[in-house]
């Protein structure tokens, strides 16, 4: 089974993934390389080319996931294509990226990526996420975070197998909700 956990920064994904990995036998946690984001921020004029390179790498990453699935592993992925879509939408205008160019690249490569069996989105209150990010001593870009959350909130209209998990519960209640699906 191929499972993806999504949510905005500060939503609790990392904590939840760690617990799920311990509770699901024969599972492996994977995380994609996201260095392309900072590279795009440093070179907004080349954002489309950088994003295209990342999208090509995702095809190779899909092959890696397929191999683990062939071995009978449950693959738990910390973010995947929904975060790419939502964060590019959220940051596109703020960072000066070519929004249409990024959308074209996304549409070109999306059909080639392995689709997850289940996508869980932690639907955490924006203020809670902002507080958690600040507690970690990290910079909070509220406008971008708000746009990303709006995208996640409407993702089930665009993508199959999306389930929203309210993160205001304790972590073990969240795990029970996930197991029910």
Task: Enter the tokens of residue 109.
Answer: 């490569």
β-bridge mates for residue 114, sequence order: none
- Provide the terminal-to-terminal Cα distance of the chain, rounded to the nearest Å: 12
Which pLDDT tens digit goes with each residue over 45-78? Answer: 888 898 899 999 999 999 999 999 999 999 999 9
Is the domain covering 2-180 a CATH 3.90.700.10 domain? Answer: no
- Read off the pLDDT of residues 95-133 as tens digits, 9 standing for 90 and up: 877 778 888 998 899 999 999 999 999 988 999 999 999
Q: What predicted TM-score, i.e. pTM, was given to this entire model?
A: 0.85
The secondary structure of residue 181, as a DSSP letter, is: -
H helical segments located in the chain = 13-23, 35-42, 47-70, 81-95, 99-109, 126-135, 142-153, 171-180
pLDDT for 56: 92
Q: Which of 12-16, 23-27, 39-43, 66-70 has the lowest mean pLDDT?
A: 39-43
- Domain extents in the chain: 2-180
The tens digit of pLDDT for each residue in 138-181 reads 988 898 899 999 989 988 888 889 999 886 566 667 766 776 66
């Amino acid at each position: 089974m191929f499972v993806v956990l999504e949510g905005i920064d500060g939503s609790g994904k990392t904590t939840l993934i760690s617990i799920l990995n311990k509770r699901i036998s024969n599972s492996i946690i994977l995380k994609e390389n996201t260095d392309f984001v900072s590279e795009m921020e440093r070179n907004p004029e080349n954002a489309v080319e950088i994003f295209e390179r990342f999208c090509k790498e995702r095809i190779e990453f899909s092959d890696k996931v397929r191999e683990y699935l062939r071995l009978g592993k449950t693959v738990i992925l910390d973010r995947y294509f929904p975060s790419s879509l939502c964060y590019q939408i959220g940051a596109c205008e703020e960072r000066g990226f070519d929004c249409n160019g990024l959308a074209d690249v996304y549409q070109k490569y999306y059909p080639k990526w392995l689709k997850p069996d289940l996508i869980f989105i932690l639907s955490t209150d924006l203020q809670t996420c902002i507080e958690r990010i600040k507690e970690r001593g990290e910079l909070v870009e509220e406008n971008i975070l708000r746009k990303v959350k709006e995208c996640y909130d409407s993702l089930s209209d665009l993508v199959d197998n999306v389930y929203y998990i309210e993160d205001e519960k304790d972590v073990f209640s969240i795990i029970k909700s996930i197991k029910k699906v």
